[in-house]
């Protein structure tokens, strides 16, 4: 994480300006003020539109105070870490009961603010370390008495050959059982059909080139990243391939 995204919540413009100045001088981690709010209502409007790493929240504000705001934002799908910045020390216990990362009293010193941001960074790193790894989609290949999982992101093309499908990665070819139409329907975000007998990985399409084929005559073919082999494009699929390359 190179820079913390900060939301400032304080009804006093001068207090927000001072925090902006201090945050600009912070490093390791650095911080960027992405938005400011003068009360809890404005703060929730920002929090519902975008995500922040940390919210620096005053406690005494018109309307709902900072403690009430913090209780509310905890219901958000991705709430920011909270650091209270206030002129009053008597609310510290309530603040930490709300799992605030730190509690700063005004006037805020640069060293104290930097320390609070370092605590925020550690909390965020710990949270991200516990997130589950994304599930990797795979195709199951069975050949010569063994079963292998081929990650979908490695597949460059799928080509129907008589009663089986050739699955091609940059490293090698596999034989896959199944239906090309079923694979196309199951993974439309990964593959585009270029011919009645071929699907190619959308991310791998590099170029569309003129091609003379002994059987089909003059036409078009796609070149894929990582392969020298050209794959024929049927006239019916030509528009879809051109649109993919242009996008």
Q: What global pTM score does this model have?
A: 0.55
Q: What is the mean pLDDT of the chain?
A: 89
Domain boundary among 88, 106, 129: 129
Identify whether residues 117 and 12 lie together within a single domain. yes
- Can you give the residue range of the structural domain that contains 22? 3-129
Is 229:211 a contact under the CB 8 Å cutoff? no
Please tell me the predicted confidence (pLDDT) of residue 213. 65
Identify whether residues 70 and 154 lie together within a single domain. no
Identify whether residues 101 and 8 lie together within a single domain. yes
pLDDT confidence band for 23 (50 / 70 / 90) = very high
Identify whether residues 13 and 77 lie together within a single domain. yes
Residue 133 has pLDDT above 70, yes or no: no
What angle, rounded to 10 degrees, do the helices at 110-129 and 13-24 form?
70
Please tell me the predicted confidence (pLDDT) of residue 115. 95
Please tell me the predicted confidence (pLDDT) of residue 134. 66
CATH for 78: 3.40.50.2300
CATH for 159: 2.40.50.1020
Considering its fold, how many domains does the chain have in total? 2
Over range 148-175, report the average pLDDT: 92
Identify whether residues 117 and 7 lie together within a single domain. yes
Please tell me the predicted confidence (pLDDT) of residue 142. 84
Identify whether residues 50 and 155 lie together within a single domain. no
Over range 23-45, report the average pLDDT: 93
Identify whether residues 155 and 90 lie together within a single domain. no
Domain boundary among 129, 152, 186: 129
Identify whether residues 99 and 65 lie together within a single domain. yes
More confident residue, 103 or 1: 103
39-58 confidence digits (pLDDT tens): 999 999 999 888 999 999 99
Pairing, β 54-57 against β 81-86: parallel
E strand intervals along the chain: 3-9, 30-37, 54-57, 81-86, 102-105, 138-143, 146-151, 155-161, 164-169, 173-176, 191-195, 198-201, 205-213, 217-224, 230-233
pLDDT confidence band for 4 (50 / 70 / 90) = very high
């Amino acid at each position: 994480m190179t820079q913390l995204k900060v939301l400032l919540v304080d009804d006093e413009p001068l207090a927000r300006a001072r925090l902006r100045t201090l945050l600009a001088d912070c490093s390791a981690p650095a911080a960027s003020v992405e938005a400011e709010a003068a009360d809890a209502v404005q703060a929730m409007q920002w929090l519902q539109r975008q995500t922040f790493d940390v919210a620096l929240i005053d406690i005494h504000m018109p309307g709902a105070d900072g403690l009430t705001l913090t209780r509310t934002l905890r219901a958000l799908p991705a709430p920011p870490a909270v650091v209270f910045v206030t002129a009053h020390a008597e609310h510290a216990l309530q603040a930490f009961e709300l799992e605030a990362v730190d509690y700063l009293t005004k006037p805020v010193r640069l060293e104290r603010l930097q320390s609070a941001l370092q605590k925020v960074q550690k909390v965020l790193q710990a949270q991200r370390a516990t997130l589950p790894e994304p599930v990797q989609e795979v195709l199951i290949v069975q050949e010569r008495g063994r079963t292998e999982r081929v990650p979908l992101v490695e597949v460059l093309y799928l080509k129907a050959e008589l009663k089986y499908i050739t699955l091609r990665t940059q490293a090698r070819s596999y034989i896959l059982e199944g239906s090309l139409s079923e694979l196309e329907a199951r993974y439309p975000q990964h593959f585009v059909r270029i011919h009645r007998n071929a699907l190619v990985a959308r991310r791998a399409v590099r170029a569309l080139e003129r091609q003379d084929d002994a059987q089909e005559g003059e036409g078009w073919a796609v070149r894929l990243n990582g392969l020298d082999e050209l794959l024929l494009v049927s006239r019916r699929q030509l528009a879809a391939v051109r649109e993919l390359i242009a996008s």
